[in-house]
Structure 1
């Protein structure tokens, strides 16, 4: 039986500034910030009293290999990516000043002040840091919009993360990316060949020129629908540019169940597959002994 449902936005987010953390200012992150500027201006035009308040975090500086694929210019080389992007955004904003921080999240971070965290990261350790940072909050549930891509394909998934201090969980909470794909928060499964490219040509051998822009478009459109319609019946999309295909991820309990996502009113921690395997091996050894 199909159990497709609708996710409803908390009305409080339409009465105050929506606090957004963008983690990553590279290929997808730099394009995502451009979309957030447009989204802020559109929300204000449609009557939202405050729009978005954004903080961008990224520890990297602009290199020549970034020019052309990411939203940077030759004069930006050597500067922190997050600073460049936020300075540029603030020149386009008339009613708010956004912030940047050349830093990296870790699993000890606590992301209490944010309503929405957008992950534009390219490694599993960074996703783990986002998840644990959201779980480290004092209370409540927050949105996590994950963006990711490989050479020609990518995914966009918006979900919600509950504070670890809660024993209960909302039966209708949107599952986040790590519930669908726990391996994406497992640093032990990281691809070892993640050395940075030395030129644009080398970078384009690894990624299609427009995959980051396309992923950011779909991510921004999810937010546009959520904040203007106040509801979602689709929580993500899987995009393949080589095949020119898009597969939607519906808000559907049957789909969640196929990914072994449990909704029983209790909070369930997502465990990294490598840790789960290690614990199982230890348990089997104890049983044999």
Structure 2
């Protein structure tokens, strides 16, 4: 029996492939995963520019400071203890690459009277947060932002969310609203990729842990998250993002990862 079903794909929005200005990115969280995603974005930015692309303009959000327990598992050194995580990482990135990326020493959230500010608007969002509540707060902000745009350059398009436990993790790409797709005889095009909070909301709530107590040492931190789960998640997630830029389409919108048994399960469009 012949299977005439077309493979499902999502075509990348043209604002990522042919931008006139650097693609704006809000990276939310500068911890185990976020600090390593920033390194990957530095590499990606340099590579895109070498290929004639306008590159990336990143703004990193985190209200935490570097602690002794962060050294070893996160991208920090002994001399940075006590510094704001976002500032330490962005300063280092700018010195290395000559960029003018920005640090926000605050949480990605509305202000005291519920307003959303200009820096919160970008084309691409990457969240690397520790708790479920933050994901739902981000989703609420993005749902509000998609109804208006202050400038074409910062017209919001995608949300890449990463989360993990001790040995396992997941990453999911979502569109913020519908992305116009070209006509295709070869593929079934998919304009909307649902939010992680919509598709896996119940699962997220079930997995939420109440213990948010900071780790006092690296040994204690490693009991909560193993040494290489964050970096593996960051590399695989940024590979998906890189393919969006380079190939212009994707058959996959994420994956589930188990580093204990080295198993990865892709999530198709």
The alignment's TM-score, normalised by the length of structure 1, stands at: 0.78
SS of aligned partner of 1:157: strand
Higher relative contact order (CA 8 A, sep 6+): 2
Out of 10, 14, 17, the residue aligned to residue 11 of structure 1 is 14
CA separation of 1:59/1:184 partners in 2, compared to 1, >3 Å: closer, same or farther?
A: farther
Deviation at 1:158, TM superposition (A): 0.7
Partner of 1:100 in structure 2?
103
* Equivalent runs, 1:61-80 vs 2, <5 Å: 61-80=65-84
* Equivalent runs, 1:102-251 vs 2, <5 Å: 102-106=105-109, 108=114, 109=116, 113-137=121-145, 138=148, 142-162=157-177, 172-183=191-202, 190-251=208-269
Query: How many residue pairs were aligned?
Result: 242
Q: Structure 2 CA distance, aligned partners of 1:35 and 1:171?
A: 27
Between 226-235 and 107-116, the greater mean CA deviation after superposition: 107-116
CA RMSD between the two structures: 2.1
CA displacement 1:74-95 (0-9 Å, x = unmatched): 111000000000000001213x
Deviation at 1:24, TM superposition (A): 0.2
SS of aligned partner of 1:147: strand
For structure 1, the residue ranges without an aligned partner over 5 or more in a row are: 164-169, 252-289
CA displacement 1:144-187 (0-9 Å, x = unmatched): 00000000000011111239xxxxxx96211221122113675x
Q: Structure 2 CA distance, aligned partners of 1:77 and 1:183?
A: 37
Q: Structure 2 CA distance, aligned partners of 1:181 and 1:82?
A: 29
Higher Cα radius of gyration: 1
Q: Structure 1 CA distance, aligned partners of 2:156 and 2:51?
A: 26
Deviation at 1:106, TM superposition (A): 2.4
For structure 2, the residue ranges without an aligned partner over 5 or more in a row are: 150-154, 179-188
SS of aligned partner of 1:162: coil
Partner of 1:27 in structure 2?
32
Q: Structure 2 CA distance, aligned partners of 1:24 and 1:243?
A: 27
